[in-house]
Structure 1
Amino acid sequence: MSLVPVENVEHIGRYPPLPPDPPFEEPPPVVITPCDPWPPPYFLEDGLRKVTPYHYTYNTYCKQRWRDREILDIFAAEFRDRPTEYYEKAIIEGRVVLNGKPVPSTKTLVRNGDIISHTLHRHEPPVTARPIGIVHEDDDLIVIDKPAGMPVHPAGRYNFNSIVEVIRADRGINFNPLPCNRLDRLTSGIMFIGKHRQAAEDMSAQIRGRSVKKEYITRVVGEFPDGEVVCEKPILQISPKLGLNAVRANGKEARTVFKKLAYYPPNDGGTEEGQLKEGEEHHPWKRLRGYSIVRCFPITGRTHQLRVHLQFLGHPISNDPIYANQRVFGPSLGRGSTDAENDEDIMTRLSRMGKEEIADAVAYHDEMVDAYNKRKAEKMTGETCNICDTPLYSDPGIHELGIYLHARRYHCADGKWDYETGLPDWALPPPDTEGPTQATEESDPLAVDLKKLGLEDPEDQQEQNLVTNGLTSDVKVAAGAGA
Structure 2
Amino acid sequence: MALTVVPHQPFAPSEPEVFTPPPPVVVTPCDPWPRPYYLENGLRRVHPYHFTYNTYCKERWRGREILDIFASEFRDRPVEYYRHAIESGKVVLNGKPVSPTHVVKNGDIISHTLHRHEPPVTAQPVGVVHEDNDMIVINKPAGVPVHPAGRYNYNSVVEIMRAERGYTFNPLPCNRLDRLTSGVMFIGKHRQAADSLTVQIKDRTVKKEYVARVVGEFPEGEVVCEQPILQISPKLGLNRVRANGKEARTVFKRLAYYPPQQKDGPEDVKQPNGVVEDGMAWKKLKGYSIVRCLPLTGRTHQLRVHLQFLGHPIANDPIYCNQRVFGQDLGRGDDNSEDDEDIMARLAKMGKSEVAEAVAYHDEMVDEYNKRKAEKMSGEFCDVCDTPLYSDPGEHELGIYLHAKRYACEEGRWSYETPLPDWALPPPGMAGPTEATPESDPLAIDLERLNLSMDGSAAIATDGAVSVAQPLAAAA
| Same fold by TM-score greater than 0.5 | yes
Answer yes or no: is the 8 Å Cα contact 1:319–1:363 preserved in 2.
no
Matched, 1:5 2:2: no
> Structure 1 residue 29: deviation in Å?
3.1
Q: 2:329 aligns with which of 321, 329, 332?
A: 332
| Whole-Å separation in 2 of the counterparts to 1:287 and 1:27 | 59
The residue number in structure 1 matching 2:41 is 46
The 5-angstrom pairing of residues 314-393 of structure 1 reads 314-362=311-359, 371=368, 375-393=372-390
> Structure 1 residue 386: deviation in Å?
1.1
The 5-angstrom pairing of residues 388-399 of structure 1 reads 388-399=385-396
TM-score (norm 2): 0.91
The residue number in structure 2 matching 1:61 is 56
Residue correspondences, number: 465
Cα distance change, pair 271–198 in 1 and its aligned pair in 2 (3 A): farther
| Whole-Å separation in 1 of the counterparts to 2:299 and 2:270 | 39
Query: Helix, strand or coil: the match of 1:237?
Result: strand
Q: Which is worse superposed, 282-291 or 149-158? A: 282-291
Matched, 1:139 2:141: no
Answer yes or no: is the 8 Å Cα contact 2:34–2:163 preserved in 1.
yes
> Structure 1 residue 396: deviation in Å?
1.1
> Structure 1 residue 92: deviation in Å?
0.2
> Structure 1 residue 25: deviation in Å?
7.8
Cα distance change, pair 445–135 in 1 and its aligned pair in 2 (3 A): closer
The residue number in structure 2 matching 1:310 is 307
Cα distance change, pair 144–364 in 1 and its aligned pair in 2 (3 A): farther
Q: What is the identity, as a one-letter code, of the residue corresponding to 2:68? A: D
Q: 1:282 aligns with which of 269, 273, 276?
A: 273
Cα distance change, pair 394–439 in 1 and its aligned pair in 2 (3 A): same
The residue number in structure 2 matching 1:179 is 173
Q: What is the identity, as a one-letter code, of the residue corresponding to 1:234? A: P
> Structure 1 residue 387: deviation in Å?
1.0
Cα distance change, pair 131–281 in 1 and its aligned pair in 2 (3 A): closer
| Whole-Å separation in 1 of the counterparts to 2:62 and 2:132 | 45
| Whole-Å separation in 2 of the counterparts to 1:257 and 1:325 | 24
The residue number in structure 2 matching 1:79 is 74
The residue number in structure 2 matching 1:197 is 191
Q: Please give the per-residue CA displacement for 1:311-339, whole angstroms capped at 9, x wherever unaligned.
A: 00001000000000000001110000000
Structure 1 stretches of 5 or more lacking a match? none
Q: What is the identity, as a one-letter code, of the residue corresponding to 2:57? A: C
The residue number in structure 2 matching 1:266 is 260
Structure 2 stretches of 5 or more lacking a match? 276-281
Query: Helix, strand or coil: the match of 2:448?
Result: helix
Matched, 1:247 2:249: no
The residue number in structure 2 matching 1:102 is 97
| Whole-Å separation in 2 of the counterparts to 1:223 and 1:168 | 42
Q: Which is worse superposed, 366-375 or 39-48? A: 366-375
Answer yes or no: is the 8 Å Cα contact 1:283–1:332 preserved in 2.
no
Cα distance change, pair 65–472 in 1 and its aligned pair in 2 (3 A): same
| Whole-Å separation in 2 of the counterparts to 1:28 and 1:229 | 52
| Whole-Å separation in 1 of the counterparts to 2:466 and 2:231 | 26
Q: What is the identity, as a one-letter code, of the residue corresponding to 1:317? A: I
> Structure 1 residue 151: deviation in Å?
0.2
Cα distance change, pair 129–363 in 1 and its aligned pair in 2 (3 A): farther
The residue number in structure 2 matching 1:36 is 31
Q: What is the identity, as a one-letter code, of the residue corresponding to 1:79? A: F
Q: Please give the per-residue CA displacement for 1:243-287, whole angstroms capped at 9, x wherever unaligned.
A: 000000011111111111111112233999xxx986427289759
| Whole-Å separation in 2 of the counterparts to 1:367 and 1:454 | 46
Answer yes or no: is the 8 Å Cα contact 1:228–1:446 preserved in 2.
no
Q: 1:208 aligns with which of 202, 218, 224?
A: 202
> Structure 1 residue 32: deviation in Å?
1.2
| Whole-Å separation in 2 of the counterparts to 1:2 and 1:425 | 91
| Whole-Å separation in 2 of the counterparts to 1:477 and 1:346 | 28
Matched, 1:120 2:111: no
Q: Which is worse superposed, 361-370 or 73-82? A: 361-370
Query: Helix, strand or coil: the match of 2:178?
Result: coil
Q: 1:452 aligns with which of 446, 449, 452?
A: 449
> Structure 1 residue 27: deviation in Å?
5.4
Query: Helix, strand or coil: the match of 1:449?
Result: coil
The residue number in structure 2 matching 1:480 is 470
> Structure 1 residue 443: deviation in Å?
7.7
| Whole-Å separation in 2 of the counterparts to 1:163 and 1:206 | 22
The residue number in structure 2 matching 1:164 is 158
Answer yes or no: is the 8 Å Cα contact 1:177–1:194 preserved in 2.
yes
> Structure 1 residue 114: deviation in Å?
1.2
Cα distance change, pair 476–326 in 1 and its aligned pair in 2 (3 A): same
> Structure 1 residue 115: deviation in Å?
1.2
The alignment-based identity, stated in percent, is 70
| Whole-Å separation in 2 of the counterparts to 1:165 and 1:222 | 38
